[in-house]
Chains A and B, each alone.
Chain A
Amino acid sequence: MKKKWYEYLWIVSATYLALGFFNILFAWLGLICFMTPLIISIAKGSKSYCNTYCGRGQLFTLLGGKLGFSRKKTPPKFLRQTWFRYSFLTFFMTMFLLMIYNTFLVFAGATLTEAVTLLWVFNLPWQWTATSLAPPGVAQFAFGFYGVMLTSTVLGLITMILFKPNSWCVYCPMGTMTQGICKLKYRKEIVERT
């Protein structure tokens, strides 16, 4: 059967990560992956981004499934439990807001930090990427956002190797958020179901 165009979105995800090595300003494109699922869940009330269009999910399916880089073990129970998923979402969003605050400081005159923060702790030097094209604040957001994207990819890769290929989908903050939005949107149906 002929593959559909959206089955190749893993290429977009991989290209995005590669582009950040050459010019950090490409990191801004990541906002598409951030906004689209939210817009779909709010407007349509579905998780079709996760279900169909998520390039990162496809990348994990490919690497862990077809290419065999996964142990294919069921992840620990806590990963799927509500308390963990929402705690991780809160933590992720807090770090995201801190990143926005740092961007604001640079816009206000603070010095640009040419580094990508991996796993919220490790500052990777990233000075080789051209940032002269944009104001320091714009570049600071790019460094910060690329760090968010790289961190989630690395976490996804680790859980892909240790557990099932798409283990990241279980605790992905975007997935938690969009499912939460859908549940809010159709809360009456949930009450009826239980």
Chain B
Amino acid sequence: MPVPKKKAHVGKECVACGKCVKECPVRALSVYKGMYTLVGDPCIGCGKCAKTCPAGVIELIARKVEGATA
């Protein structure tokens, strides 16, 4: 399966409300100890989390591919 080109990135101002966690179809997101949201590897970059995030702190960024040069 090809690696998705994009992945979700959660900004520092995350309020840890957990709305994105419920929206994620692949369960890639989790609220870490009530502090902020973490994005795991399963992220497929669908953007559903960014769309639902009430704080507007999630954006899709280019996924770093191992071995690739900048």
- B57 near A57 with CB under 8 A, answer no
Chain B interface residues toward A at CB < 8 A: 13, 15-19, 21, 31, 33-35, 52-57
When distances are taken between beta carbons in the complex, the residues of chain A under 8 Å from B54 are 75, 163-170
Partner among B19, B33, B35 whose Cβ is within 8 Å of the Cβ of A169 = B19
Q: Give chain A interface residues in 2-59, CB to chain B under 8 Å.
A: 41, 45-48, 50-52, 57
Interface: A117 (CB within 8 A): no
Partner pick for A50 among B17, B52, B53, CB 8 A cutoff:
B17
A178 to B15, CA, bound (A): 10
Within 8 A of B (CB), among A52-105: 52, 57, 61, 74-75, 77, 79-82, 85
Among the listed A51, A82, A182, which residue makes an inter-chain contact with B17, where contact means beta carbons less than 8 Å apart? A51
Main secondary structure of the interface of B (DSSP, over half): loop
Whether the Cβ atoms of B13 and A183 lie closer than 8 Å is no
Interchain residue pairs with CB less than 8 A apart (6): A46-B31, A46-B33, A169-B55, A182-B35, A186-B35, A189-B35
A57→B54 CA distance, assembly (Å): 11
Q: Tell me the interface secondary structure of chain A in the complex.
A: helix
| B33 in contact with A189 (CB, 8 Å) | yes
Q: How far is the CB of B19 from chain A (nearest CB, A)?
A: 5
Report whether B55 and A175 are in contact in the complex, using a CB–CB cutoff of 8 Å.
no
Q: Which residues of A contact B13 (CB under 8 A)?
A: 80-82
B15 contacts A169, CB within 8 Å? yes
A51 touches B18 (CB 8 A): yes
Decide if A75 touches B56 in the complex (CB within 8 Å): yes
Q: Are B57 and A80 in contact (CB under 8 A)?
A: yes
A51-B18, A51-B21, A166-B19 known; A178 vs B34 contact (CB < 8 Å): yes
Task: Tell me the bound Cα distance from A164 to B52 in angstroms.
Answer: 8
Min distance, Cβ A107 to any Cβ of chain B, angstroms = 36
User: Do the beta carbons of B18 and A52 come within 8 Å of each other?
Assistant: yes
Residues of chain A in range 146-188 having any CB-CB distance to chain B below 8 Å: 163-170, 175-176, 178-179, 181-183, 185-186
